[in-house]
Amino acid sequence: MCVPDLERKSLEYRKKILKYIKHASAGHTGGSLSCIDILNVLYNQILHVSPQNFSDNNRDRYIQSKGHSVEALYVVLADQGFFPESELETLCQYQSHFIGHPTRKVPGVEQNTGALGHGLALSVGTALAGKMDEADFKVFTLLGDGELAEGSNWEALLAASHYNLDNLVVILDYNKLQITGRNKDVMNVEPLLDKFKAFGLAVREMDGNDIASIKATLEDVPFESGKPNLVIAHTTKGKGVSFMEDSVKWHHGVPDDAQYQQAQEELDKKISALEKLESK
Amino acid sequence: MEKTLDLKYTYTEKKDTRSGFGDGFLEVGRKNPNVVGLCADLIGSLKMGAFQNEFPERFFQTGIAEANMMGIAAGLSINGKIPYTGTFANFSTGRVYDQIRQSIAYSDKNVKICASHAGLTLGEDGATHQILEDLGMMKMLPHMTVINPCDYNQTKAATIAIADYEGPVYLRFGRPSWPIFTPADQKFEIGKAWKMIDGKDVTIFATGHLVWEAVVAEAMLREEGIHAEVINIHTIKPLDEEAILESVAKTGCCVSAEEHQMNGGLGDSIAQTLIRNHPAPMEMVAVNDSFGESGVPTDLLQKYGLNAENIVKSVKKAIARK
Ligand SMILES: [Mg+2]
């Protein structure tokens, strides 16, 4: 898929994320809008994963450690054909298997995640299994930045490096915000680049809301033979909706009717602008 | 004193149950190429060295990072692999409870959590390492199977048997040298209680090291004309409720015996079963809301009442309440 097509998909995904969060009156809006471009490129460009090969042992694995941004994942999985999108109308409702954090009850979901600090160790184990089997698959995991305060991540990085897991790709959704406020005020995680390098990882930085930047970076994996890959994706929480961008209150805010309409209109305008650009 | 008793089960050799695990682990590794080992820097203590030597490509050292080991084991359980994790029981449970809950139990991963040095019989290292709450923590988790074998042979058999069961298992064993009184060729059936001695006056439900104490207690009681039934509850969960109810319906009262806190242990599970189905007088031999301390195992078991003498006393109390 070419970059403009992916860009358009991102905007459509954003519209759907808002639609289902609005419908459910619940959800993690800011984080889902922050990471959706990464998921878009992963599922449409990078991952060898589809409903057809989901029982294939050699499929790529995507494990979303920051499970609270589940709406982004569900919307992308629906688009990939894992289940009809209309099922998302039951999101977070009683008796729905579309639970508020990723669950394997939903087709396409690899791991139950959501309690922070667990996804990376799981991913290390899965990458280790791939090495044992001399399999080609890669393991991708998405971390949140607030989540980095969980010490379990650093234990997992030690092991990833110790076992030379160059089939592991860790992507940090670095929007610099978490539920209470800015990372630097809650618990400073910087200097990240130096920390990751010191842990023996091959580190790249990218604009995590820029399709071309994401695509170029992820297509370059493995960055260095024998080293786990770590991508610092600089993102904006709430990306794509003016009043949600870089605002802590949209961590799990649900738009009211007026806000919802404004958000959808803003995204529609961006789609129109893209179309105009393409027709030129 | 044991020597003068007419014991229904006897032994010629003593060995630690952790060696039963180590030998069973090597054997199941030879039988099943999907079995994988992980250890958090306690390979010697867990007796995992023989497996590691024979199958280095199927063994992973995680360093002293037990939480990470549990997460890695869960992630490793793809494509048919059966990870066995090894560390002490306290580091296998309390330290890593959230990892087990989220990534193993909730996700129903085929991980075997193998936990050594459980209970007071760890001995000299004292309270920090003597976990007495692990069975309770593990049995509370949905999807988790909880097994606490009684001697070397049963631990070895259980270690081999759990590979054929699909789902998370907590396997608990210990450090002290202990009588080997069950047969080497036993068939280990998860969830199936084993009636070791038939009796009519009281049932003693015992698990782990305390099964031996129950066997000794039965002989002591018989000298006084009391005929105790002894049932080996090697699987705490799923509990063999049928066997428990059938026995208590016959004997009319019971005693539970375990190297664990009274709160949350085997006794709790049995009491729940009885209350819901067939209320009967029951006494519990267990640690009563206390941490452990340093000492040789027999002294500690004596002090905390986890021995044949206290089982005998508890039996008499239970019978008196009939
Ligand atoms: Mg963040």
The residue segments making up the domain with residue B103 are: 14-179
Q: Are B209 and B178 in contact (CB under 8 A)?
A: yes
pLDDT of residue B302: 96
Residues B160 and B200 reside in one and the same domain: no
* Beta strand extents in chain B (DSSP E only): 14-16, 35-39, 59-61, 82-88, 112-116, 145-147, 169-172, 177-179, 194-197, 202-206, 228-232, 235-237, 254-261, 282-287
Tokens of B17: 């149950």
Scanning B240-289, the segments in alpha helix (DSSP H) are 241-251, 266-277
Q: What is the pTM of this model?
A: 0.96
Q: What is the DSSP string of chain A?
A: --HHHHHHHHHHHHHHHHHHHHHHT---HHHHHHHHHHHHHIIIII----TTTTT-TTS-EEEESSTT-HHHHHHHHHHTTSS-GGGGGGTT-TT-S--SS--TTSTT--S---STT-HHHHHHHHHHHHHHTT----EEEEEESGGGGSHHHHHHHHHHHHTT-TTEEEEEEE-SEETTEEHHHHS----HHHHHHHTT-EEEEEETT-HHHHHHHHTT--SSTTS-EEEEEE--TTTTSGGGTT-GGGSS----HHHHHHHHHHHHHHHHHHHHHHH-
A233 touches chain B (CB under 8 A): no
- Position A193 pLDDT exceeds 60: yes
Say yes or no for a CB contact (<8 Å) between B78 and A158: no
Euclidean distance between CA atoms A65 and A172, whole angstroms: 10
Residues B222 and B158 reside in one and the same domain: no
Tokens of A85: 């999108």
For residue A197, the tally of other CB atoms under 10 A from its CB is: 13
For chain B, the first-to-last Cα distance in angstroms comes to: 29
Category of A142 on φ-ψ map: left (φ > 0), alpha (ψ -120 to 50) or beta: beta
For residue B63, the tally of other CB atoms under 10 A from its CB is: 14
Say yes or no for a CB contact (<8 Å) between B103 and A123: no
- Which residue from A81, A77, A71, A76 is spatially nearest to A22, judged by alpha carbons? A71
Residues on chain B bordering chain A, Cβ-to-Cβ distance under 8 angstroms: 36, 57-58, 60, 62-63, 65, 67-68, 70-79, 81, 83, 98-99, 102-103, 106-107
pLDDT in tens, A227-249: 999 999 999 999 999 999 999 99
Residues B36 and B77 reside in one and the same domain: yes
Q: How many domains does chain A have?
A: 1
- Among B154, B179, B204, where does a domain finish? B179
| Strand partners of residue B14 | B179
Residues B201 and B125 reside in one and the same domain: no
Residues B163 and B243 reside in one and the same domain: no
Residues B122 and B211 reside in one and the same domain: no
Question: How confident is the prediction for chain B on average, in pLDDT?
Answer: 97
For chain A, the first-to-last Cα distance in angstroms comes to: 19
How far A148 CA sits from the closest chain B CA (Å)? 15
pLDDT of residue A1: 87
Q: What is the mean pLDDT of residues B94-115?
A: 97
Q: For the CA atoms of B161, B162, B163, B167, what is the dihedral angle to 10 degrees?
A: 150
Euclidean distance between CA atoms A64 and A142, whole angstroms: 5
How far B173 CA sits from the closest chain A CA (Å)? 25
pLDDT in tens, B119-169: 999 988 889 999 999 999 999 999 999 999 999 999 999 999 999 999 999
Enclosing H/E stretch for B135: helix B134-140
Residues B122 and B237 reside in one and the same domain: no
Euclidean distance between CA atoms B87 and A162, whole angstroms: 20
Say yes or no for a CB contact (<8 Å) between B103 and A118: yes
pLDDT of residue B298: 93
Q: What is the mean pLDDT of residues A60-86?
A: 97
Say yes or no for a CB contact (<8 Å) between B76 and A125: yes
pLDDT in tens, A138-161: 999 999 999 999 999 999 999 999
pLDDT in tens, B23-80: 999 999 999 999 999 999 999 999 999 999 999 999 999 999 999 999 999 999 999 9
pLDDT of residue A280: 77
Closest chain B residue to the Cα of A115, Cα to Cα:
B102
Residue B282 sits in a domain whose CATH number is: 3.40.50.920
Residues B246 and B149 reside in one and the same domain: no
Euclidean distance between CA atoms B176 and B296, whole angstroms: 9
A111 touches chain B (CB under 8 A): yes
- Among B147, B179, B211, where does a domain finish? B179
Residues B21 and B166 reside in one and the same domain: yes
Residue B37 sits in a domain whose CATH number is: 3.40.50.970
- Chain A window 42-81: which residues touch B at a Cβ cutoff of 8 Å? 57, 61, 63
Residues B167 and B269 reside in one and the same domain: no
Residues B105 and B150 reside in one and the same domain: yes
Q: Are B146 and B139 in contact (CB under 8 A)?
A: yes
CA A235–ligand 1 middle distance (angstroms): 9
- Position A215 pLDDT exceeds 60: yes
Omega before residue B238 within 30° of 0, cis: yes
The residue segments making up the domain with residue A219 are: 3-279
Q: How confident is the model at residue B88 (pLDDT cuts 50, 70, 90)?
A: very high
pLDDT in tens, B259-317: 999 999 999 999 999 999 999 999 999 999 999 999 999 999 999 999 999 999 999 99
Interface mutation vs chain B, best among A64, A155, A170, A199, most B CBs within 10 Å: A155
Euclidean distance between CA atoms B40 and B48, whole angstroms: 11
How far B66 CA sits from the closest chain A CA (Å)? 9
pLDDT in tens, B260-272: 999 999 999 999 9
- Among B122, B153, B179, where does a domain finish? B179
How far A129 CA sits from the closest chain B CA (Å)? 5
- Position B1 pLDDT exceeds 60: no
Residue A241 sits in a domain whose CATH number is: 3.40.50.970
- Which residue from B21, B3, B42 is spatially nearest to B171, judged by alpha carbons? B21
- Which residue from B114, B134, B96 is spatially nearest to B19, judged by alpha carbons? B114
CA B111–ligand 1 middle distance (angstroms): 32
Q: What is the mean pLDDT of residues A212-238?
A: 98
| Strand partners of residue B39 | B61, B86
pLDDT of residue A279: 84
CA A53–ligand 1 middle distance (angstroms): 32
Residues B38 and B7 reside in one and the same domain: no
The share of chain A scoring above pLDDT 90, in percent, equals: 95
**Chain B CB contacts of A152 below 8 Å:** 67-68, 71, 99
pLDDT of residue B3: 58
Nearest to A152 among B68, B78, B81 (CB): B68
Q: What is the mean pLDDT of residues A56-72?
A: 97
Q: How many domains does chain B have?
A: 2
Question: How confident is the prediction for chain A on average, in pLDDT?
Answer: 96
- Which residue from B88, B84, B92 is spatially nearest to B58, judged by alpha carbons? B84
pLDDT in tens, A77-97: 999 999 999 999 999 999 999
- Does the interface predicted TM-score (ipTM) exceed 0.90? yes
Q: Are B45 and B117 in contact (CB under 8 A)?
A: yes
Q: What is residue B94's DSSP assignment?
A: G
Q: What is residue B305's DSSP assignment?
A: T
